[in-house]
Amino acid sequence: MLNFRALFVSLLLLTSLGLGATEQTTQKGGDDALVKACTLCHGPEGRSTPYGYFPRLAGKPETYLLNQLQNFQAGRRHYAQMGYLLENVDAAYLQQLAQFFAKQDIPYPAPAVFSTPPPQLKWGQELAMHGDPDRKIPACAACHGQQLSGGVSPAIPGLLGLPRDYLLGQMGNWRTDQRHAREPDCMAQIAKSLTEQDINAVTRWLATQAPLKQGPKPGSPSAPQPDSPALKCGSVQARHDAPLSPQQSQGLYLSRIGNCQACHTAQGGVPLAGGKAIETPFGVVYSSNLTPDAQTGIGRWSAADFWQALHEGRSKDGHLLTPAFPFTDLTQVSRQDADALFAYLQTLAPQKNVVKPNTLSWPFNTQWALQVWRALYFKPTAFKPDPKQTADWNRGAYLVNGLSHCGACHTPRNALGASLGDHAFKGAVLASQGQWVAPGLLSPQEGGVQNESIKSISNLLQNGMTQKGTVRGPMAEVVYKGTQYLSDEDAKSIGVYLKSLGSSAAATAAPVPQGVNGDSKGEVKGHSHGAALYKEHCEGCHGKEGQGSSAGFPALAGNRHVTTPHVGNLIKTVLWGGIPPTTAANPLPPGMPPFRTLLSDKDVADVLTYTRQSWGHQAPAITTLDVIQNIENASALGGADRLPR
């Protein structure tokens, strides 16, 4: 079992070398704040833990690191925590991370010593330096360099100085298709050609070799550069194109603020080419291909067909669409906006993508069941402006209730999956999205914005962060792929409408209470363990009194997200950490590390209880059972729901 105290000592060492977070970071992307979410796990060297292998990052080639970050983001490499951390950040953020760690110059540890039979070591050396021509297996040195310290491209790392368990783990991942690279995937090809005896021999030999103490960095002009890799290599040939430039068309704008890409883009897939699996209580629905491919997309659709899908929930051929497609909200989209959306989609490059059939259980997979459901819960309608309200209010109502379909998450549903109209915006548990809670929007205590300024609401929608908090979970995706593109006018209109929700009494600010068993700033009695944990792990970013910092770390004191009765979001944030979504106005947000690698369930409960009952807060305590239940119920990490504790 890993000694977590030793892991934290490693973090302190990393901080002393300039890789950890400090109080001197700036909000505009200081390196220390940028890598905060990485350093707690990876440390200066990286070791195996009950949560997986945390490899060394320091000094690896920048292009190699960037490739791996993009592979995690696209699902070609599988580690749930990495996929979660990188889900809502753009290419520029990944490039910045890769640049930072590539520049770090930290000595490698001494090579391992094994009691290995000499013939096995000799065979490992032979494979590493010369390969096996009879089996058409190239030498490691053919790609990783004759000194095995960096290869034919900055995308190929050195092999010396890596622990054997890491080398074994990666070879195993390639052999079992747990790790992928861009095609052609040469390492998967090689790993599957090697026998277990080959892998044992070559990993033992590599792990016993001392890394070069001095020498040119891989990819530098003075480093030896062979003409080309021994095999065709997708990672070497990969191009890192800049994100698409924004198009000044209404259709593109509407597709963004309507968050179409979130559902119609599979992980690592072509934008809007469909195929994403959408979990529902009744089975899985796979999103449709919106590119103009004639066979698998909407290339043969007309604008009227597209309008019919949005307004009536019917496909081109007339069959009824499942309400996983939010036509119950999109029915309010105007014909003018629907035509603009269709016109934009027709400009996309056609992508042939045969989407999997839905796997809904009976009878939900039948058209007659959908007819019954529609008779009960759906009627095509058009948005009707309220003449008693302002233009801003009406525009906000149109966006919130229609194109942006906010109620799809923030309104609870009945047993048949229909939104409860009489409970609109009262909040809901997103059972198919990791049990995150979409808070109620009708009162400040539940998550409403009645006490916030229009500017603050706009800032949260467009930037994903305010001094009071950052968006997490499904809302982070909404900001990253959708609301960050809101115009200032539309963001303001949404703020005007959201502030109007709920009663006027709910919008009255409640007085800040005094602390429990203590004053509003002092340590709360009976929480010495939680206070110690806070001081050790949280104070450096969030402040001694929970006041936050100018480096972009939000205040905890007076923060309703800390005192919320829906503790699941709070627990998930501490366990999984996260990087807020990158946006144009906030391109390098500081991340929070996943403390599940360091804190026990009881530790998490204690430190959160301390924050919920300090600085004037009077929220109920969080128990160890609360933490365990949130881990057991979670599904947001795609298969890694129950993490070892």
Q: Which two tokens stand for residue 50?
A: 């009950």
Rounded Cα distance, 375 and 382, in Å:
18
User: Is-contact 355 264, C-beta < 8 A?
Assistant: no
What mean pLDDT is predicted for residues 453-480?
Answer: 88
For 164, residues 6+ apart whose C-beta sits below 8 A from its C-beta are: 112, 114, 203, 204, 206, 207
Q: Which two tokens stand for residue 418?
A: 């229909």
Q: Kindly tell me the sign of the dihedral angle through the C-alpha atoms of 622, 627, 633, 637.
A: positive
pLDDT tens for each residue of 49-74? 666 678 888 888 888 899 999 989 88
**Regarding predicted confidence, which is higher, 50 or 193?**
193
The pLDDT confidence band at residue 620, using thresholds 50, 70 and 90, is very high
Q: Which two tokens stand for residue 339?
A: 């035509």
For 611, residues 6+ apart whose C-beta sits below 8 A from its C-beta are: 530, 534, 538, 546, 556, 562, 617
What mean pLDDT is predicted for residues 264-274?
Answer: 89
Q: Give the pLDDT score at 228.
A: 64
Beta bridge partners of 137: 132
614 burial type by CB count under 10 A (0-12 exposed, 13-18 middle, 19+ buried):
buried
Rounded Cα distance, 304 and 315, in Å:
11
611: Cα separation from own chain's centroid: 25
pLDDT tens for each residue of 380-412? 999 999 999 999 999 999 999 999 999 999 999
Rounded Cα distance, 558 and 615, in Å:
7
Q: Kindly tell me the sign of the dihedral angle through the C-alpha atoms of 110, 116, 117, 120.
A: negative
CA atoms within 13 A on the CB side of 424: 11
Buried b (16+ CB within 10 A) or exposed e, 165-185: ebbbbbbebbbeeebbbbeeb
Give pTM, 2 decimals. Answer: 0.77
Q: Which two tokens stand for residue 53?
A: 């292998």
Domains 1-38+515-645 and 118-237 share a fold: yes
pLDDT tens for each residue of 134-173? 998 898 888 888 888 766 676 788 888 788 888 888 888 8
Q: Domain extents for the chain?
A: 1-38+515-645, 118-237, 250-377, 391-500
Convert 19-62 into a string of H (helix), E (strand) and C (coil).
CCCCCCCCCCCCHHHHCHHHHHHHCCCCCEECCEECCCCCCCCH
Q: Give the pLDDT score at 480.
A: 93
Query: If you search the block for the tokens 């609301």, which residue do you land on?
Result: 483
The pLDDT confidence band at residue 253, using thresholds 50, 70 and 90, is very high
Beta bridge partners of 324: none
> What is the gyration radius of the CA atoms in the chain, in angstroms?
27
User: Is-contact 355 289, C-beta < 8 A?
Assistant: yes
Classify residue 134 by its DSSP letter: G
Query: What dihedral do alpha carbons 615, 621, 623, 627 form, nearest 10°?
Result: -60
Position 515 pLDDT exceeds 50: no
Position 278 pLDDT exceeds 50: yes
* Phi (first) and psi of residue 280, to 5 degrees: -135, 165
Q: Give the pLDDT score at 176.
A: 86
User: Is-contact 562 619, C-beta < 8 A?
Assistant: yes
Neighbours of 433 (CB within 10 A): 17
Q: Which two tokens stand for residue 95?
A: 């490039």
Q: Give the pLDDT score at 637.
A: 43
Q: Kindly tell me the sign of the dihedral angle through the C-alpha atoms of 430, 434, 438, 444.
A: positive
CATH no. of 391-500: 1.10.760
Amino acid present at 276: K
Position 22 pLDDT exceeds 60: no
Q: Give the pLDDT score at 44.
A: 54
> H or E element: which one contains 280?
strand 277-280
Lowest mean pLDDT among 105-119, 198-212, 264-278, 451-465: 105-119
pLDDT tens for each residue of 551-589? 778 899 988 889 888 888 899 999 988 899 999 888 988
User: Is-contact 510 490, C-beta < 8 A?
Assistant: no
Q: Mean pLDDT over all residues of the chain?
A: 81
Report, at the CATH architecture level, how domain 1-38+515-645 is classified.
Orthogonal Bundle (1.10)
Classify residue 508 by its DSSP letter: S
Q: Which of 15-24, 433-442, 488-497 has the highest mean pLDDT?
A: 488-497
The CATH H-level superfamily of 118-237 is Cytochrome c-like domain (1.10.760.10)
Lowest mean pLDDT among 27-36, 220-229, 598-607: 220-229
Phi-psi region of 320 (alpha: psi -120 to 50; beta: other; left: phi over 0): beta
CA distances to 31, 120, 458, 462 from 551, in Å = 11, 53, 20, 19
What mean pLDDT is predicted for residues 440-467?
Answer: 85
336 burial type by CB count under 10 A (0-12 exposed, 13-18 middle, 19+ buried):
exposed
Dump strand ranges (E) for 415-528: 428-430, 436-438, 465-466, 469-470
Crossing angle (nearest 10°) for helices 303-312 and 335-345: 120
CA atoms within 13 A on the CB side of 624: 6
Position 530 pLDDT exceeds 90: yes
Rounded Cα distance, 497 and 224, in Å:
63
* Phi (first) and psi of residue 505, to 5 degrees: -65, -35
* Phi (first) and psi of residue 425, to 5 degrees: 65, 25
User: Is-contact 428 277, C-beta < 8 A?
Assistant: no
CA atoms within 13 A on the CB side of 207: 17
Rounded Cα distance, 541 and 550, in Å:
9
121: Cα separation from own chain's centroid: 42
Q: Which two tokens stand for residue 325?
A: 């497609």
Position 21 pLDDT exceeds 90: no
